[in-house]
């Protein structure tokens, strides 16, 4: 089966557990968490699941070099560097901005993991990765390009498999969840969960919170998710015809630009840390968690329901944003 065509990078399954203190605080909701911050690869995160499939293909193609792109505090770049280290491959990262004398957060970890940096002001979504590939292949390298966020029909298999894992855990606990909140930015995680929900008959409403308004390859986030879903469904013999309405995003929490930490994200980080001893990241999970808290507080989702928050990792970025978080 296509879901078996992967390398092993993560410590799976990740935990699923009840958050009693937050459930008490947000009366009327039973709140659970899926801990993909504990996938294990270089401090964990959701990209580990995608990279298991992407790295498998890179090895099948006998590639010796991985290329990907992101912001300087990219969790995806950090985990790609770690995956390359495990596989004995070179890793080249195309990063937004300019080089600095002092590295911290994910940038420091990517450096420690052996990644080679290529700074490209104003381009964090891999606009010039093909040019870098051509340059490296002239030097004898065989390169495999991993798209921004690891989000394509190969990477999204990681989250189809994750839904299978979640469904098994829910069955073991005899638990049904009504809503699943998670952050959505490059689209691969959302596409995988969308297809996995249908493939494994998970009866829950998906609540993907938009993190980033900017387009990728000229497509809005919804269009990008829909494209991955419609291309990927054929690998799984899913007959359903998907429309934009099937990949609706929760918007309104992405008014601040990508990577800008506001009092909303700080609030969500504090709620999790002080109530459950769980650390969110300031860019993705904190923004999604604030959306969840706001919707529960204002009763925008039905009361007496079971709510799952899918933690996709990102802890190292907190150190970069220390001045925003230490108030």
Positions marked catalytic: 74
Closest residue by Cα to residue 59 from 39, 88, 91? 88
Which residues lie across from 67 on neighbouring strands? Answer: 92, 145
Do residues 43 and 315 touch, judged by C-beta distance below 8 A? Answer: yes
**Per-residue tokens: 177:** 């969840």
Per-position b or e across 265-292, b if 16+ CB within 10 A of its CB = bbebbebbeebbebbbbbbbbbbbbbbb
Terminal CA-to-CA distance of the chain, rounded, Å?
A: 51
Sequence-ordered strand ranges (E) for 269-314: 305-311
Residue with tokens 């990209």: 47
- Phi then psi for residue 180, to 5 deg, are -125, 110
Rounded-to-integer distance, Cα 224 and Cα 214, Å: 11
With CA atoms as reference, report the closest residue to 161 among 133, 205, 195.
Answer: 195
Omega before 13 cis (within 30°)?
yes
Angle of helix 157-173 versus helix 47-60 axis, rounded to 10: 130
């Amino acid at each position: 089966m296509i879901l078996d065509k992967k390398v092993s990078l993560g410590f799976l399954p990740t935990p699923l557990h009840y958050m009693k203190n937050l459930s008490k605080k947000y009366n009327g909701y039973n709140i659970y968490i899926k801990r993909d911050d504990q996938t294990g690869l270089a401090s964990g995160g959701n990209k580990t699941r995608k990279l298991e499939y992407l790295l498998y293909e890179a090895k099948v193609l006998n590639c010796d070099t991985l290329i990907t792109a992101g912001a300087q505090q990219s969790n995806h770049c950090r985990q790609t560097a770690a995956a390359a280290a495990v596989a004995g491959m070179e890793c080249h990262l195309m990063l937004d901005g300019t080089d600095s004398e002092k590295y911290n957060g994910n940038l420091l970890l990517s450096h420690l993991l052996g990644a080679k940096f290529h700074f490209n002001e104003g381009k964090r979504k891999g606009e010039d990765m093909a040019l870098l590939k051509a340059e490296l292949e002239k030097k004898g390298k065989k390169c495999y390009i991993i798209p921004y966020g690891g989000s394509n029909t190969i990477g999204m298999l990681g989250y189809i498999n994750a839904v299978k894992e979640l469904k098994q855990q829910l069955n073991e606990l005899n638990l049904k969840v009504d809503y699943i909140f998670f952050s959505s930015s490059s689209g691969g995680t959302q596409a995988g969960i969308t297809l996995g929900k249908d493939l494994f008959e998970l009866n829950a409403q998906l609540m993907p919170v938009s993190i980033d308004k900017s387009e990728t390859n000229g497509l809005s986030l919804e269009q990008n998710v829909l494209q991955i879903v419609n291309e990927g469904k054929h690998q799984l013999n899913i007959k359903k015809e998907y429309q934009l309405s099937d990949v609706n995003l929760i918007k309104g929490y992405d008014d601040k630009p990508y990577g800008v930490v506001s009092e909303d994200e700080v609030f969500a980080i504090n709620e999790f840390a002080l109530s459950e001893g769980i650390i969110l990241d300031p860019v993705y999970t904190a923004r999604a968690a604030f959306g969840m808290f706001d919707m529960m507080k204002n009763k925008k989702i039905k009361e007496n329901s079971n709510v799952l928050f899918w933690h996709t990792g990102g802890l190292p970025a907190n150190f970069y944003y220390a001045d925003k978080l230490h108030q």
